[in-house]
Amino acid sequence: MKVEVNNLKRHFGTTRAVDDITFSFESGQIFGFVGPNGAGKTTTMRILATLDEPTAGDATINGHSVVERPEHARRMIGYMPDNLPVHRDISVHEYLDFFARAYGIGSPKRQQVVESVEEFTNLMGIREKMLNALSKGMKQRVSLARALVHDPPLLIMDEPAAGLDPRARVELRELLKVLAQQGKAILISSHILTELAEICDGAVIIEKGRILRAGTMHNISHGGDAPTHRTMIIRNYGSNEELCKALLEMPHVEAARLVGPSVEADVAGDEETCCDLLAELLRRNFRIAEFHQRKADLEELFMTITSGEVQ
C-alpha cells in the first residue's frame, strides 16, 4: 500500500496553508510530519483524512483519491486528531463499539474486533470506565483504539504524544512500532522531535505550507545527497586526549574534540573512509570501545532549516 501526496494546495483566501507539497510513503513505514505551529501539518492531515478538500492537487491511498473517492479512502484511514474524545456518559467499550458500528462492522465480528483492539491497546482493564473519567494518556489510547477499530492500513496521527507523561509516550512509541511491523503505514506529526527521530523511517519538514526537506531520516539530515561529511563518536579504553591528538594528525579528519567520555571527530569522506580510520586507530594500538556515527539530530536540523515564521 502506498500513500502519495501530489502537488497538494490548500488556500484560505490569501493564506496558503498548504502550498504545492509532494511526498509519499509506504506500508510498514512510520513517516514523521514536522513543522512549526501554523506550518500546514494539520491541514494536510485533514485533507488526507477526507475532512477537508484541497484547492488543487490530490492525495491517493493505494490509488484511491481522497478528493474524488473519499468514501473508498475512508475505509483505509484511521485518523487520530489532536483533540481527545469528550463524550459524556459513555464507557470505553461502548465508545469503541459505537465507532465499530459507524464503520459498518456487523455482529458477531464487531464484538471480536472491539475486544482485540482493546487488548492491543491495553484497555481491557478500563473498558467499563466512563470516557470523561480517564486520564489524558488513557484517552489517547482510546483514541488510538478508535482509529484502529476498522483495521485501516493507514494511520494518520496528529500530535499523538502531546501532553503525555514519559511512560505513556514510551508505550505509545512501542505500539506504533508494532503497528508498523504489522504493515501499517503511519503518518505522525509531533513537536517532540527526538521521539520522531527514534521511531520514524522518514519525515517531511514543512514550513509556511512548503516542504523544506523530505525523505528518509538519513537523507534529510544530509540534505538529500550522499553524505560527504560525518561526525564520528569514538571512545578509547584509555586516554581520550591521546586519541584526540592522533585523530587530528590523520588525513580526512577535519576536527576532533573531547565531548564527555568520548571524542567527536568530523570526518570528510564516506563510509569507506571511516572504516580506514578505524583500522588506522587499531593499527596504532588504540583500544577502541565505541565507534559509531552520530545520529541525525532532528531537533537541531529542524532549528537549522526552519525560520520559525508563521503565516
User: Could you tell me the smallest distance in angstroms from the CB atom of residue 39 to another protein?
Assistant: 20
Answer yes or no whether residue 246 interacts with another protein by CB under 8 A: no
- Encoded one letter per residue, x for contact with another protein by CB under 8 A and - for no contact, window 83-122 reads x-xxxxxxx--x---xx-xxxxxxxx--------------
Residues 137 to 176: which contact another protein by CB under 8 A?
146, 150-153
Residues 33 to 92: which contact another protein by CB under 8 A?
46, 49-54, 58, 60, 62-65, 67-71, 74-77, 79, 81, 83, 85-91
In a 13 Å sphere around the CA of 219, the CA atoms on its Cβ side amount to 13
User: How many residues belong to the site for another protein (CB under 8 A)?
Assistant: 52
- 3-state SS assignment for residue 44: helix
Classify residue 223 as left (phi > 0), alpha (psi -120 to 50) or beta: left
- Residue 147: name the closest of 47, 49, 32 by CA: 49
In a 13 Å sphere around the CA of 150, the CA atoms on its Cβ side amount to 20
**Residue closer to another protein (CB basis): 27 or 273:** 27
Q: Give the separation between CA 59 and CA 48, rounded to whole angstroms.
A: 7
**Residue closer to another protein (CB basis): 53 or 242:** 53
User: Could you tell me the smallest distance in angstroms from the CB atom of residue 176 to another protein?
Assistant: 18
**Residue closer to another protein (CB basis): 93 or 169:** 93
User: Could you tell me the smallest distance in angstroms from the CB atom of residue 204 to another protein?
Assistant: 21
Beta bridge partners of 19: 9
User: Could you tell me the smallest distance in angstroms from the CB atom of residue 251 to another protein?
Assistant: 54
In a 13 Å sphere around the CA of 85, the CA atoms on its Cβ side amount to 29
Residue 143, all three cell numbers: 483514541
**Residue closer to another protein (CB basis): 76 or 277:** 76
Answer yes or no whether residue 128 interacts with another protein by CB under 8 A: no
Instruction: List contacts with another protein (CB under 8 A).
Output: 1, 13-14, 46, 49-54, 58, 60, 62-65, 67-71, 74-77, 79, 81, 83, 85-91, 94, 98-99, 101-108, 130, 146, 150-153
